[in-house]
Amino acid sequence: MTAKIIDGNALSTEVRGQLAERAAALTSVGITPCLAVILVGEDPASAVYVRNKVAACEKAGMISLRDVYAADVEPALVFARIAELNADPSVHGILVQLPLPKHFDSEAILESISPEKDVDGFHAENVGALMQGNPRFIPCTPYGVMKMLESAKVPLKGAEVVIVGRSNIVGKPMAMLLLAQSCTVTICHSQSRDLAFHTRRADILVAAVGRAKMITGDMIKPGATVIDVGINRTAEGKLCGDVDFETAKEVAGVITPVPGGVGPMTITMLLANTLEAAERSLK
Ligand SMILES: Nc1nc(=O)c2c([nH]1)NC[C@@H]1CN(c3ccc(C(=O)N[C@@H](CCC(=O)O)C(=O)O)cc3)C=[N+]21
Ligand SMILES: [Mg+2]
């Protein structure tokens, strides 16, 4: 039997439809949700993501602003633009596309965004709120994963979860969200001894390492839920995840594909956070 596939595009369409209704309701009272996106440099993948985010905003009836800077821009210019966006009441969300060029202090940039407009949930204040169990903005990728688990009715209470990857943008917030749902959470990383020992115990396995096809079917417990957060490009330019889908789908009970899985849900939850920020501005 092959695994049930969670279709991230279909779920995105459904959720974005609901968001569009809320956006229209806000617009009718004079507030159109607005996301400002800042892109520094010419990385082609980043340009594609930013284009997708902007298009998704407009389709959901939200406004988007886009500022693109050359890779060698003075950071002071970007800080000044963020300050301007922080002060602009018509802007509800601000996203600085990562990664930034090496001469940027990324942490300082993220801390300069007003926590009330930090729709990525990367500001230390929002990270702290999530750890304390009172999230203000949930980082978009782990938020999207939670929606996917919910839509597939994957039981969470008491489940053994193994997350492979410990990044600030996926692994760590993912662990906090699943812990809050009473999962038993293990975080593995590049220095973990005997990775397969851990992954084979997982009822829910989240792969967020950035290494193409590194999770193979033999590393998965039969019937497990496998969430693939990886976005890797092969030499031929094909997109593939951290999970070897062909072998994994024969073992897993539920699985997410790449493309068409977590990626579209990340953008959907960015829209959700922007809308949420705009709704809060009413109160
Ligand atoms: N401040 C910031 N916030 C982010 O949320 C952020 C970021 N920086 N930097 C880069 C990563 C990556 N990310 C993706 C979003 C959507 C897809 C997505 O839609 N993927 C499509 C395919 C798109 C394609 O063809 O390349 C899919 O998986 O089906 C992928 C990756 C957001 N990120
Ligand atoms: Mg994100």
CATH number of the structural domain spanning residue 46: 3.40.50.10860
User: Mean pLDDT across the chain, nearest whole number?
Assistant: 97
167 in Cβ contact with 208 (< 8 Å): yes
Nearest ligand, measured from the Cα of 52: 1
Query: From the CA of 1, how far away is ligand 2's center (Å)?
Result: 33
For residues 75 and 164, state if they share a domain. no
Residues 159-179 have pLDDT tens digits of 999 999 999 999 999 999 999
For residues 159 and 108, membership in a common domain is answered with: no
Q: What is the pLDDT of residues 92-126, one digit of tens each?
A: 999 999 999 999 999 999 999 999 999 999 999 99
- Model confidence band, residue 237 (pLDDT cutoffs 50, 70, 90): confident
Please name the residue whose Cα sits nearest to atom 17 of ligand 1: 263
CATH number where 151 lies: 3.40.50.720
Residues 150 and 65 in one domain: no
* Whether the CB of 41 sits within 6 Å of ligand 1: no
Other C-beta atoms lying within 10 Å of the C-beta of residue 282: 9
Range 180-183, long-range pairs (CB < 8 A, 24+ positions):
180/133, 181/146, 181/156, 181/157, 182/156, 182/157, 182/158, 183/156, 183/157, 183/158, 183/159
User: Is residue 53 annotated as part of the catalytic site, yes or no?
Assistant: yes
Q: Is 153 left (phi over 0), alpha (psi -120 to 50) or beta?
A: left
192 lies in the same domain as 106: no
Q: Is 78 in the pocket of ligand 1 (CB under 6 A)?
A: no
Which of the listed residues 79, 114, 149 is the one where a domain comes to its end?
Answer: 114
State in Å: Cα 208 to ligand 2 middle: 12
Inter-residue contact 200 to 188 (CB < 8 Å): no
Q: Is 191 assigned a catalytic role?
A: no
pLDDT tens-digit profile of 180-236?
999 999 999 999 999 999 999 999 999 999 999 999 999 999 999 999 999 999 888
For the question of residue 97 being annotated catalytic, the response is yes
Task: Please give the tally of structural domains in the chain.
Answer: 2
Q: Is 165 annotated as a binding residue?
A: yes
Any binding-site annotation on 231?
Answer: yes
| Percent above pLDDT 90 for the chain | 94
Domain coverage including residue 65? 30-114
Q: Say what the pLDDT of residue 15 is.
A: 98
Residues 210 and 245 both lie in one domain: yes
Q: Band of the pLDDT at 54, cuts 50, 70, 90?
A: very high
Given the residues 7, 97, 242, 244, the one annotated as active site: 97
